[in-house]
Chains A and B, each alone.
With several copies, the nearest count.
Chain A
Amino acid sequence: GSKNQGDQTAPSTSPEVSAEVTSQPEQTADEAFNVTITDSTGTEITLTKKPERIVSLAPSTTEILCALGLEDKMVGRTKYCNYPESITALPEVGGTSNPNVEAIVDLNPDLVVGATHVSEEVIGKLREVGINVAFLNEQENFEGTYSAIEKVGMLTGTDEKAAEVVAEMKQKVADLEIALQGLNLTELPKVYYATGFGESDYGAGGDTFIGEIIHLAGATNIAQEISGWSISKEQIADGDPDIIIVPSGVNMAADMATTDFYKDLRAVKEGKVYEIDGDSISRQGPRVADALVEMAQKIHPELAK
């Protein structure tokens, strides 16, 4: 069942993280391992043994698990889990939204970790046949990312490592804040982050994670008013962005320069269309802090280094 209200990503709803640690794991000895957490579906997951066979159902959780040094405990992944590269040696269980239940069961996992895209049905079915599934659909912001990392840490008995990773991320954000302190707040550059263009335009709205990253990187999002991703050409023209940022790897920057309407935009004419690693910015994993830094460097090459 789905009871993930409130703790979802919507900033308008309760910002509290619903996952509460109800009992601290004892880290002294493996045999005394006992941890219970409440995941995003409101389900209590109790592990009495350190998980040894983990299946990850999302690229973001895979990255988290690997960052926590658990790569050798993973036995399955989705076909989109491509970072770190060594992980691609693991067997696939399908895509993110509709992985193959039988393939997962066949791997005999003692923990399945999933995020955002996994279908309710798959989670329900796995739980029905007695497999522990932690579904981490955290708020789509830095807080949510930290909490996801911490929860994975708790479940796998790697709290310390998790705390380390989170601290490192926080440090990067804080460093950036300091670097950007000198900005004139009334004259921040206007930025548009485009994920799709042409027939329909898709860009990061004010309430998306990428919207937050733009804000933290010291820029004004021209799609600040928009909720979600759908935007009209009139809004882009009206917003008149100084800088356009696009995910790398799909040749968007080059295409924009040759497409009607876009090629007449000031940012495009001035050559201020920058690419950013699409994976790290869109996955709620340890790499978002790097993405933020990268974004800031693109926007303020003179300040952030």
Chain B
Amino acid sequence: MKHKKALIGNISYLYFLLTLCLILFACISVIIGVADITVGDIINIIGAKLKLVPLSESISKGQETIVWNLRIPRILMALLTGINLAITGAVYQSLFRNDMADPYMLGVSSGASLGAAMGFILGGFLPVWAFVGAMLANGLVISLSGIKGKVSPIRLLLSGLAINYFFSALLSYIRIQSEDKQLAVFVWGMGSLNAASYKRVGILLAITVPILCLFFVYRKELNLLLMGEEAAKAMGVDVSKVRKRLLVASSILIATNVAFTGTIGFVGLIIPHMVRLLFGSNYKRTLPLCGFFGMYFVLFCDDLARAVSSKGEVPLGIVTALFGAPYFMYLIYKERRRES
């Protein structure tokens, strides 16, 4: 632990540095995209939108739209998604004391997909349907595993798996049975930030802020939960209450995120692992660090997706896996080498 502490040095200094770099990174990200817009034009557009300078004549309506209505909300969405997934993943890994826990494990993603498909058939605003589906799946898992009495992590995990299988199967069945070609190819599964807009960013932000605050408040409890249920209780943690609150809060957070972006795998599983590998288990440190790394990672992947996308949009979920997995494997490999 000693060298790990040394590694991070003064922690608030590190956070400051990370924030600074993140802002820089986000700014650079605005430049990336298929449309050819110069940095000067971008600055001019943003300046004009903020009513600082007049809009240059040479800038077309399309370019204005691209920078202000496509790229910027998309970057904001990437940041929110990154922080939400990584932090929720970290929270789940403590709540369930299982290294394979990820934010979608309680049925959120399959529920959202099924909900979206239902919305597709019955009509309506898809994100709302997806949200309802996600909450339904999640609620089913939590209530069947016993929200009233003791919430047992292993029971939650298993019911989550079962519900995931069930909902996915139901979706596949509906797809197969439907002769509708559109439904057959309808894929909610692979996440994408394509539809990001200020409205969505706003809604997600409004949900993200209070819930992440809650998670930050519960950092101490998350640490204690790692010591086991009985020990946590003996030290004064109301284990059931904490579990329930965190479960409900994370469900809402992830359901909303999934409703807006679809399922973006890997982030919520791997970022917390990476952070723990590098900085240890203490949630006081790892929770904010997970947030930072999650944002960096998703933003980086989305930049990649946008950079290579001249031939069509590559879903973000694919990029996160294609770039995250090899790096993660490398980390594991290095860890092994170091150990032996």
Binding site for B on A (CB under 8 A): 1-5, 8-10, 42, 78-80, 92-103, 105-108, 116-117, 119-122, 124-125, 128-130, 137, 140, 195-196, 198-202, 205, 207-208, 225-235, 237-238, 240, 247, 250-251, 260-261, 264, 278, 282
* Cα distance A125–B187 in the bound complex, in angstroms: 17
Nearest to A130 among chain B residues (CB) is: B65
* Cα distance A103–B177 in the bound complex, in angstroms: 17
CB contacts (< 8 Å) of B184 on chain A: these are 228-229
30 cross-chain CB contacts under 8 A: A2-B125, A8-B180, A9-B180, A10-B178, A42-B123, A98-B194, A102-B309, A105-B70, A106-B35, A108-B60, A108-B61, A117-B185, A119-B187, A125-B70, A195-B182, A196-B182, A200-B194, A201-B194, A202-B185, A207-B179, A227-B177, A228-B312, A229-B176, A229-B185, A230-B313, A231-B312, A235-B34, A240-B62, A247-B182, A278-B181
CB contacts (< 8 Å) of A232 on chain B: these are 34, 194, 306, 309, 312-313
CB contacts (< 8 Å) of A207 on chain B: these are 179
Beyond known contacts A98-B194, A120-B120: 19 more, CB 8 A cutoff: A98-B312, A101-B313, A102-B34, A102-B309, A103-B309, A108-B60, A119-B186, A199-B192, A200-B195, A200-B315, A207-B179, A229-B179, A231-B312, A232-B194, A232-B312, A237-B35, A240-B62, A251-B123, A261-B197
- Beta-carbon contact of A199 and B65 below 8 Å: no
* Cα distance A227–B181 in the bound complex, in angstroms: 12
Which B residues, 151 to 179, have Cβ-Cβ distances below 8 Å to chain A? 176-179
CB contacts (< 8 Å) of B33 on chain A: these are 102, 234
- Beta-carbon contact of A199 and B195 below 8 Å: yes
CB contacts (< 8 Å) of B125 on chain A: these are 1-2
- Beta-carbon contact of B311 and A227 below 8 Å: yes
CB contacts (< 8 Å) of A240 on chain B: these are 62
Tell whether A195 pairs with B181 under 8 Å between CB atoms, given A98-B176, A227-B311, A233-B194: yes
Q: Which of A2, A78, A201, A225 contacts B123 (CB 8 A)?
A: A2
CB contacts (< 8 Å) of A8 on chain B: these are 180, 182
CB contacts (< 8 Å) of B187 on chain A: these are 97, 119, 200
- Beta-carbon contact of A95 and B306 below 8 Å: no
Q: Which of A2, A92, A121, A205 contacts B194 (CB 8 A)?
A: A121
Which B residues, 8 to 45, have Cβ-Cβ distances below 8 Å to chain A? 33-36
* Cα distance A205–B35 in the bound complex, in angstroms: 17
Chain A binding surface SS class: loop
* Cα distance A58–B180 in the bound complex, in angstroms: 14
Q: Which of A1, A98, A106, A124 contacts B62 (CB 8 A)?
A: A106
CB contacts (< 8 Å) of B116 on chain A: these are 199
B98 at interface, CB cutoff 8 A: no
CB contacts (< 8 Å) of A80 on chain B: these are 179
Number of cross-chain contacts by CB at 8 Å? 224
Tell whether A129 pairs with B70 under 8 Å between CB atoms, given A5-B123, A196-B186: yes
- Beta-carbon contact of A261 and B69 below 8 Å: yes
B59 at interface, CB cutoff 8 A: no
* Cα distance A212–B253 in the bound complex, in angstroms: 44
Q: Which of B34, B63, B123 contacts A4 (CB 8 A)?
A: B123
B225 → chain A closest CB, angstroms: 36
B265 → chain A closest CB, angstroms: 16
Nearest to A206 among chain B residues (CB) is: B179
B119 at interface, CB cutoff 8 A: yes
Nearest to B199 among chain A residues (CB) is: A260
CB contacts (< 8 Å) of A264 on chain B: these are 65
- Beta-carbon contact of A196 and B185 below 8 Å: yes
Tell whether A129 pairs with B180 under 8 Å between CB atoms, given A5-B123, A98-B315, A103-B34: no
- Beta-carbon contact of B310 and A125 below 8 Å: no
Q: Which of B61, B124, B195, B312 contacts A100 (CB 8 A)?
A: B312
**Closest 5 CB pairs between A and B?**
A94-B312, A121-B195, A106-B35, A232-B313, A238-B35
B188 at interface, CB cutoff 8 A: yes
* Cα distance A282–B33 in the bound complex, in angstroms: 31
B254 at interface, CB cutoff 8 A: no
